[in-house]
A and B are shown apart, each in its own frame.
Chain A
Amino acid sequence: MIRSLPSSSLYRISYVVYVFLFFTFLLMPLVAISVLAFNDSNFISLPWNGFTFDWFFSSTNERQGLFADEELITSIVTSLSTGFFVAALSTLIGTLAALLFEEEQFRLKGLLYFLALAPLVIPGVILGISILLTATSAGNHIEDNFGLDVELLRPSYWLVILGQFSFAATYVMLLVSARLKKFDRTLEEAALSLKATRLEAIWYVTIPFLRPAILGAFVVAFILSFSNINTTIFLIGSDPTLPIDLYSRIRFSSTPVLNAVSFLIVVVISGLAFINFFANRSNK
């Protein structure tokens, strides 16, 4: 049953078969699209017609490869820059929130902490519509009373960033808090007794200790932003992010260029994951 106990070979074999089937199920969609990205065919699926790089590099009318498709490239750039801003903003606020809830005592702390965790259990669609409603009525209000048109308050690039930030900050807070719980508080007290101010103690002692968690949280926030669609779809203005662009293509005009984009995402993500995995292993 467990490592240290003997068990019948039938039990062991069927268990391993189950685990194997599970991981096949898990990897099947990723493997299928990765292979079909190189299929010399105008349809997204089988039959296999031979190997080609057309869906990456071709720029004929019939076949628009990934790198020749300006719309696609633009949406990738939009997603990358959105991800960067969301990660930066939520890392900053999430880290402040972690310090606040782990180190300070104040009235209504329980209520605020509950609110900070709320995005974990609020469906993304609801965050999207509630922020859209608020931004729009605030925007209308300002326009009626002051005659100003604030771009931030209409569906736009910046509203998407704010919307994604609203939940990404929660994940940052949790990741940084987990590391902060392992922090030896006496280090901070030592700095204080050596006449450092509280701010100096946090900046020179606590933050360096938190650095790995903060970096990790930045990456997580970036990935959350890069793949988000539930919240983004309501806030998007005239510059679609990559998931929004892919979504409308899947619904209205699937070509194997979708396989090529998916392949690229799978390769980049798995590459980063494996580098991270082996770097951690060699550190130990």
Chain B
Amino acid sequence: MKQNNNNSFNITFYLLIVPVLIWLVFMIVIPHAEMLISSFLVEDDEGEMIFSFANYIEFFTQKIYWLTFVKTAAYSIGVTLLAFIIAFPIAFYLSKVTSKKNAGFLMLLLLIPLWVGELVTVYGWIVLLGDNGVINHFLINIGIINEPITMLYTNFSMVVGLLYMSMLFMVIPVMSTLQSLDDSLIEAACDLGATKWDIFTKIIIPYSMPGITSGAIIVFMLVIGDYLAPNLLGGKNSLWFTEQIYNSFLQTFNWNEGAAFGFLLLMLSSGIIWLALKLSGQKLDKVGT
């Protein structure tokens, strides 16, 4: 009987692990190994693929490539900071200020743009920000301006689009850590004469740090890997590194160069995420929840 039971445990274990292994090995491990290998291959004069660092050398010697890389990293960090500044008061409002019932409804409004999808919302911003767009029309009609302001196809519109699609991912984790913050801590601080600023910097921010880290990591990852907002809302000068990858793959068909760019982007994003986790002492599995 005991033996039989052990067998059935083993069967269950293999039924669970085999499909999961197939997923992880064939869809995650092998593709990334393949990408790394491809990035070290170039075609020689006879059309044979040979090992070479040429794709990486190309990246470091062509100013446009590494400049885009640095710009993408800097903008992504900037957008993450902005997302924190804009989203934190909202997360605080939803978890601590307004009633539960209101919070539920506002939460729903917050989620709708996410479910609608990035493409539709990016398109919405094109309609709003264009020279003949809704906002310029409105401003001209009420007489604030005479000529339309150029907003679309600039760094400004790109940042608006990036913020819009990523902000929510800062609100939710911060909100869920704040929900577990005991109100009496704030009340006690207030009774003892702490100012709002003291309460904010000494209680609320330290307490919500795990949520802020999770939010920052997700926002950063989404922004640095985004393609639509820089491509559709950004101008000629707002080149994003993902667009370089896209061009290598689908326009110049230099897949090996594209693989090298992809690997560099992966290193950049995981490097910064690793740093954020180390600095805050968090684990990756906390980010997911």
Interface residues of chain A, those whose CB is within 8 Å of chain B, are: 1-5, 15, 18-19, 22-23, 25-30, 32-33, 36, 43-47, 92-93, 96-97, 99-100, 104, 106, 112-127, 129-134, 137, 162, 165-166, 169-170, 174, 178, 197-199, 202, 223, 226-227, 229-230, 233-234, 243, 246-247, 250-251, 254, 258-259, 262, 265-266, 269-270, 272-274, 277, 281
Quick check: is B246 within 8 A (CB to CB) of the other chain? yes
Q: Which residues of chain A are within 8 angstroms of B255 by Cβ–Cβ distance?
A: 129, 133
The answer on a CB contact under 8 Å between B20 and A28 is no
Quick check: is B32 within 8 A (CB to CB) of the other chain? yes
The answer on a CB contact under 8 Å between A119 and B284 is no
A-B contact pairs, 22 of them (CB 8 A): A1-B199, A19-B90, A26-B109, A28-B124, A29-B164, A44-B127, A46-B134, A96-B20, A100-B16, A120-B284, A122-B269, A127-B31, A129-B249, A130-B35, A166-B27, A227-B120, A233-B227, A250-B119, A250-B232, A262-B120, A266-B120, A277-B104
Q: 1/0 per position for B59-100, CB-CB distance to A under 8 A?
A: 000000000000000000000000000100110010011010
Q: Which residues of chain B are within 8 angstroms of A100 by Cβ–Cβ distance?
A: 16-17, 20
The answer on a CB contact under 8 Å between A174 and B262 is no
Which of chain A's residues has its CB closest to B217's CB? A121
Question: Within the complex, which residue of B29, B35, B124 is in contact with A32, where a contact is CB–CB below 8 Å?
Answer: B124
The answer on a CB contact under 8 Å between B183 and A3 is yes
Q: Is the interface of B mostly helix, strand, loop or mixed?
A: helix
The answer on a CB contact under 8 Å between A45 and B288 is no
Q: How far is the CA of A244 from the CA of B90 in the complex (A)?
A: 33
Q: Which residues of chain B are within 8 angstroms of A117 by Cβ–Cβ distance?
A: 284-285, 287-288
Q: How far is the CA of A250 from the CA of B34 in the complex (A)?
A: 33
Stretch at the interface among B7-15, B50-58, B205-213: B7-15
Q: How far is the CB of A176 from chain B (nearest CB, A)?
A: 12
Add 11 more A-B contacts to A2-B187, A125-B262 (CB < 8 A). Answer: A19-B93, A22-B86, A29-B128, A30-B121, A45-B133, A47-B137, A123-B242, A125-B245, A243-B117, A262-B123, A273-B111
Q: Which residues of chain B are within 8 angstroms of A130 by Cβ–Cβ distance?
A: 31-32, 34-35, 259, 262
What total of A-B pairs shows CB separation below 8 Å? 267
Q: 1/0 per position for B112-144, CB-CB distance to A under 8 A?
A: 110111111111111110101110010000000
Q: How far is the CA of A270 from the CA of B117 in the complex (A)?
A: 12
The answer on a CB contact under 8 Å between A120 and B130 is no
Q: How far is the CB of B1 from chain A (nearest CB, A)?
A: 9
Question: Within the complex, which residue of B20, B27, B196 is in contact with A112, where a contact is CB–CB below 8 Å?
Answer: B20
Q: How far is the CA of A44 from the CA of B124 in the complex (A)?
A: 10
Report, as a range, how many residues of chain B touch the other chain. Answer: 35 or more
Interface residues of chain B, those whose CB is within 8 Å of chain A, are: 5, 8-9, 11-13, 15-17, 19-21, 23-24, 27-32, 34-35, 38, 86, 89-90, 93, 96-97, 99, 104-106, 108-113, 115-128, 130, 132-134, 137, 164, 183, 186-187, 190, 196, 199, 217-218, 221, 224-228, 232, 242, 245-246, 249-250, 255, 258-259, 262, 265-266, 269-270, 273, 284-285, 287-289
Contact A115-B28, Cβ < 8 Å, known A22-B86, A46-B137, A227-B119: yes
Which of chain B's residues has its CB closest to A277's CB? B108
Q: Which residues of chain A are within 8 angstroms of B8 by Cβ–Cβ distance?
A: 197-199
Q: How far is the CB of A223 from chain B (nearest CB, A)?
A: 6
Which of chain B's residues has its CB closest to A219's CB? B115
The answer on a CB contact under 8 Å between B246 and A199 is no
Question: Within the complex, which residue of A113, A114, A129 is in contact with B258, where a contact is CB–CB below 8 Å?
Answer: A129
Q: How far is the CA of A121 from the CA of B273 in the complex (A)?
A: 8
